[in-house]
Structure 1
Amino acid sequence: MRLSNRNKASVYNFVHTLLLMMVIFGIAAFLLNEYRFHAVDEESYIFLIVPVILLITFHLNGRQIFEYDSDGEALNFKNRNIIPFLDRPLHDEFPKYKLIAYEIVKILFIKRLYITISSRNGGSTILKYEISYLSKKEINDLKLSLNKVVIANKEKND
């Protein structure tokens, strides 16, 4: 099964550009109000605070583009940001039989996928992916696919 939200990259770019423009216009409005017009008193800080909080929230949600491929004998996970220099993209590929478990953690508006795979020395490794920008349907499809792999691995080991 393949899952990707790469086609939404243009929407995320638009939102990011819009938020940056809001920050720039907020700074301009604040400065104009403080030094020229004096139209708003103490509330002029809202021109700065609201756009900055929105931009920080957008970036705290994590990497926007998530790709998953379970076709064949390997699992492929890719997670990257729409702005290449902000974060290093993640790319992991490993055989299906190494998948032990997975967990999806939701905290407010942030969603993370934790994958536990077996390592060579008999231990396990946890891989983390940011899936905040996936829709509910995409998350359910991801859960369904990962459940199939985990169940198949448990049956092989028993």
Structure 2
Amino acid sequence: MRLSNRNKTSVYSFINTLLLIFLAAGIGAYFLEEYRFNILGKKSFLLIVIPILTIFLFYLNGRQIFEYDSDGEALHFRNRNVIPFLQKPLNDEFPKYKLLKFEIINMFFMKRLYITISSKNNGSTLLKYEISYLTKKEITDLRFSLHKVIKINKEKRANI
């Protein structure tokens, strides 16, 4: 199964650009307010604080683009940001038989996917992905696919 929200990259880029324009307009309005109009008084700092908070919340949700591929004998996960230099993109590929368990965590408006895989060195490794920008249907499909892989792994281990 393949799952990707890569087609929404232009939407996330537009939102990012809009937030930056909102911040620039807020800074301009703040200076005009402080030095020219003085209508808002001491509340003029909100012209800068509100855009900064919205940008912070947009990036707090994590990497916007998530791709998952379970076709073949390997699982492939990619997680990257719309702005490439902001965060390091995650790119993991491993055989399906190494998947031990997974967990999807919902925290307010943030969603995280935690994958535990078997490792030769220290028994297991925890991989973390940000899936906040996936729809409910995409998360349900991802959960179904990962459950299917785990079920097949358990059946193979029981037969051995």
Fold agreement, TM-score > 0.5: yes
For each residue in 1:102-154, what CA deviation from the matched residue of structure 2 results, as whole angstroms up to 9, or x when unmatched? 00011111100000000013600000000000000000000000000011111
Structure 1 partner of 2:89: 89
Partner AA of 2:129 in structure 1: Y
Amino acid at match of 1:111: K
Please name the residue that 1:37 is paired with: 37
Output the TM-score relative to the length of structure 2. 0.97
Structure 1: runs of 5 or more not aligned: none
> How many residues matched?
158
RMSD (Å), alpha carbons: 0.8
Q: What is the letter of the counterpart of residue 83 of structure 2?
A: I
Q: Is the deviation greater in 117-126 or in 4-13?
A: 117-126
Paired AA for residue 113 in structure 2: L
Q: 1:9 and 2:24 equivalent?
A: no
Structure 2: how far apart are the matches of 1:156 and 1:52? 51
CA distance in 1, matches of 2:33, 2:99: 57
Please state whether the residue corresponding to 2:111 is helix, strand or coil.
strand
Q: Using the alignment, how far apart are the partners of 1:112 and 1:82 within structure 2? A: 18
**Stretches of structure 2 lacking an aligned partner (at least 5 in a row):** none
Q: Which letter does structure 2 place at the counterpart of 1:124?
A: S
- Structure 2 equivalent of residue 106 of structure 1: 106
Residue identity (%):
63
Supply the distance in 1 between the matched residues of 2:108 and 2:14 (Cα, whole angstroms): 24
Give the secondary structure class of the aligned counterpart of 1:68: strand
Q: Secondary structure at the match of 1:72?
A: coil
